[in-house]
Amino acid sequence: MTVLDRSYGSNYYFTEGLALAYAPNSGKIGYLDKKGALVIPYQYSYGRPFFENAAVVQDNKGNYGVILI
């Protein structure tokens, strides 16, 4: 189990070494690594957990895309 030093708004789990998290003030979505570092900035309106090295995200204009790791 991974335990982070800080608390993040998320009900997701780590997949592919990353977890989806919500920005404290804006509600934007980003991704954390298992050390708790924000490795993909809070910039998405919608996002899904990584699966097979890809995550579906949506920007604030409603455009969907895929993040590949």
Can you give the pLDDT at residue 38?
A: 92
Write down the domain spans for the chain: 18-68
Say how many residues make up the chain. 69
pLDDT in tens, 35-68: 889 999 999 999 999 999 999 999 999 999 999 9
Non-local (6+) Cβ contacts of 56 within 8 A are 47, 48, 64, 65, 66
Q: What is the pTM of this model?
A: 0.81
